[in-house]
Structure 1
Amino acid sequence: MFILKQKKKLLVVIMILIAATTIILSFALKKDDAIATINGEAITKDQLYNEMVKQYGSDTVDQLIADKIVAAEAKKQKITISNSELEEQVQKLQDSYGGEEAFSQALESNNTTLKALKKDMKNYLMIKELLTPEIEITEEEMKTYFEENKDSFVQAEQVKASHILVADEKTANEVKQKLANGSDFAELAKAYSTDASTKDQGGELGYFSKGEMVTEFDNVAFALPVNQISDPVKTEYGYHIIKVEAKKAAIEANYDNSKAQIKETLLEQKIDTEYTTWLEDKKKDYDIENTLAEG
Structure 2
Amino acid sequence: MRRFILISMAILISILACSKSRYGKNSKEYVFFSRLAEITPLMNPEKSQILIQTNKFKISTRDIMPIVYRVMSQYSAELSRIPKADIEQFIFQVATQEAEKRMLYAEAKAQHVKITPDSLQKQMERIFQNAGGKSRFLQDLITRGISFKEFKNELGIQLTIEKFLKEKLYDTVSVSEEEIQKYYNQDQRATVRHILLVTQNKSDSEKAALRQKMETIRTRALQGEDFAKLAREYSEDPGSKLNGGLYQNFERGDMVQPFDSIAFHLPIGKISEVFETPFGYHILKVIDRQKDKRPLEKIKPEMIQKLTQEKRVSAYTNLIQSLKLKYQYQVAWNPI
Report if TM-score (shorter chain) is over 0.5: no
TM-score tier by shorter-chain length is 0.3 to 0.5
What TM-score do the two structures reach when normalised by structure 1?
A: 0.35
TM-score (norm 2): 0.31
